[in-house]
Amino acid sequence: MEVSSSTSEVIVEEWSGSSSTKLSRTATITAFPSLSIQRSGSRFHHLWRRILEAFVPEGFPSSVTPDYVSFQVWDLLQGLSTYIRTMLSTQALLSAIGVGEKSATVIGATFQNDAVVLERPNWNAGRYLIHILSGVPLASGSVTEGSNLDSNAKMWRLVADLMNDLGMLMDLVSPLFPSAFVFVVCLGSISRSFTGVASGATRAALTQHFALQSNAADISAKEGSQETVATMVGMALGMLLARITMGHPLAIWFSFLSLTMFHMYANYMAVRCLALNSLNPQRCSILLQHFMRTGQVLSPEQVSKMEHILPVWASSWSSKKTELIHVRVSLGVRVSSLNHLELRDLLHFAGSHYKKAKYLLMERKGNICIVMHKDSTATDVLQSFLHANAMANLIDKHRILHSESQTWMDKHYEEFIQKLKVSGWKTERLLSPTIVWKANWICGSSDEKID
């Protein structure tokens, strides 16, 4: 509100916006010489802003990370291709169980995916039972290593969508194997069950990454609005494509495979756009190696261009030159898995190099093993992993591993952590698979000999 020097004139301004930094003036009201309202902007502009507010988080773009828009664009495109392909695979599945034939039941045609024909009264119940039960071990972490979903969110995002593609492929090929129809369809259900667990977990991790103002719930809600529009458009296009290709197997397969290739490309581009600022084993390795060479810390955007998204076994043909030092580090090694000689070395190191540390390091066949103390904290886990990477970087240089790596840690560790914080990295913890095995050790007096 503005008040002039004359008490007879008052000007009231109307401002609109969900963020204090993104307010815009929409109207000016004056009372002198007569009451008047002067609106700012066109009605189309106000309408467009209202529509936009229904699909983007409050305070956009300052309330989300810079990579939010590019990721969402590619994510919506891959989602659109999924909905179109779903119509094609569903059409093939319904054709396989008899929908469209004279012998098809009305109930089968009504319920579509839940269609049941007289010849196969129990296949659908078995299919969904397998779908439900297969999600239990996946969610418990026996397959996905639990928190490894957080640690490698990019990779598991791609894997989840690949499994979804396989599930759709199973539905599409089911008419080709009538004798093994139930088996093929159940395989597709298991694939989609994996997709549901992995995709949901990784999406939660990415939502937390995007939320700059603790607005994860708002981001999820707006994503739901975006998905609704993509679903409607995808279903419409899918029904049109299914109608056009009906009765033409080659056209169906060409459309499905083309959309699948685009789907995987869009997913790859989506995760490639992400510049995560959390520390996982691979990002730690890239950051530490660069710091040891140059004394500088890379930004999240720079590291995102260097890290491998595909699994380690699939990265050998990659054009990237980043050496994967972190794969030579084993975090949370079980003490009882070590042989007699390794146990003697471990006891010696516990009484010499690591008296004050909450972890033990040892070299084993070219790899660095980390034994965590039972009282270790998240900070200790991060420090132990960086220490192990520094040691692994010295193995090929024929150095005195424990002495030189400890000297480097004493001189540069705190400086490295501070530079990480300044560059925007989250240094509270290391995103890694859950550490199940830990140990406890008690060191004797300094003059006591440890064998």
Are 270 and 363 within one domain?
no
Whether 105 and 249 share a structural domain: yes
Number of domains composing the chain = 3
Which residues are CB-neighbours of 316 under 8 A, at least 6 positions away?
none
Do 15 and 148 share a domain, yes or no?
no
pLDDT of residue 149: 75
CA distance 120 to 371: 55
CATH number where 114 lies:
1.20.1250
Torsion angle, CA of 419/420/423/424, rounded to 10 degrees?
-140
Average pLDDT over residues 38-49: 67
The answer to whether residue 63 sits within a structural domain is: no
The two structure tokens encoding residue 233: 């458009």
pLDDT of residue 71: 95
- Asked whether residue 442 is assigned to any structural domain, the reply reads no
**Distance between CA atoms of residues 59 and 407, nearest Å:** 47
The pLDDT of residue 124 is 52
Question: In this prediction, what percent of the chain has a pLDDT beyond 90?
Answer: 38
Give the Å distances, CA to CA, from 367 to 88, 246, 291, 331. Answer: 49, 57, 21, 11
* C-alpha span between 432 and 349 (Å, rounded): 25
Report which of residues 15 and 58 the model is more confident about: 58
**138 and 188 both lie in a single domain:** yes
**DSSP element (H, E) containing 370:** strand 367-372
Taking the C-alpha atoms of residue 47 and residue 268, their distance in angstroms, rounded to an integer, is: 34
Would you say residue 317 has pLDDT above 50? no
Predicted pLDDT of residue 445: 55
Is there a single domain that holds both residue 390 and residue 312?
Answer: yes
Nearest to 91 by CA among 107, 105, 112: 112
Distance CA 255, CA 368 (A): 49
Boundaries of domain holding 6: 2-53
If asked whether residues 120 and 16 sit together in one domain, one would say no
Q: How far is CA 379 from CA 26, 114, 358, 386, in A?
A: 50, 51, 10, 11
For the ranges 140-144, 342-346, 441-445, the one whose mean pLDDT is highest:
342-346
Tell me: do 135 and 38 sit in the same domain.
no
User: Which residue has better confidence, 125 or 187?
Assistant: 187
pLDDT tops 90 at residue 195: no
Sheet hosting strand 24-30, strand order edge to edge: 2-3, 10-16, 24-30, 36-39
Query: Minimum mean pLDDT among 139-153, 213-227, 365-379: which range?
Result: 139-153
278-303 per-position pLDDT tens digit:
999 999 999 999 999 999 999 999 99
Question: Are residues 217 and 127 part of one domain?
Answer: yes
pTM of this structure? 0.78
Average pLDDT score over residue span 340-345 = 89
Please state the rounded mean pLDDT for residues 400-422.
92
pLDDT above 50 (res 351): yes
115 falls in which pLDDT band (50, 70, 90)?
A: very low
User: Are 193 and 287 in a shared domain?
Assistant: no
Specify the pLDDT at position 178: 80
On whether both 254 and 360 belong to a single domain, the answer is: no
> Which has more confidence, 161 or 89?
161
Does residue 219 register a pLDDT over 50? yes
Contacts 24+ apart (CB under 8 A), 306-314: 307/154, 307/282, 307/283, 308/282, 309/154, 309/155, 309/158, 309/268, 309/271, 309/272, 310/155, 310/158, 311/155
Q: Which range, 42-51, 106-115, 136-145, has the best average confidence (pLDDT)? A: 42-51
Alpha helices (H) in 274-360, listed in sequence order: 281-294, 300-304, 340-350
User: Per residue in 67-86, pLDDT tens?
Assistant: 999 999 999 999 999 999 98
Task: Return all residues near 70 (Cβ < 8 A) that are at least 6 apart.
Answer: 270, 273
Please check whether residue 253 is in contact with residue 85, taking contact to mean a CB–CB distance below 8 angstroms.
no
Among 45-49, 131-135, 335-339, 413-417, the range with the most confident prediction by mean pLDDT is: 413-417
Q: Is residue 44 domain-resident?
A: yes
Contacts of 134 (CB under 8 A, 6+ apart): 189, 190, 193, 194
Residue 30 zone, left/alpha/beta (φ > 0; ψ -120 to 50; rest): beta
Answer whether residue 186 is part of any domain: yes
213, pLDDT greater than 80? yes
**Residue 450 within a domain:** no
Same domain, 93 and 230: yes
Instruction: Give residue 148's identity as a one-letter amino acid code.
Output: N
Is 435 a member of any domain? no
Most confident of the ranges 19-33, 70-84, 89-103, 348-362: 70-84
The answer to the question of residue 449 being in a domain is: no
Predicted pLDDT at 42: 61
Is the pLDDT at 66 greater than 90? The verdict is yes
Residue with tokens 């088996």: 183
Q: Tell whether 162 and 39 lie within a shared domain.
A: no
Establish if 447 belongs to a structural domain. no
4 pLDDT higher than 50? no
Which pLDDT score is estimated for 364? 87
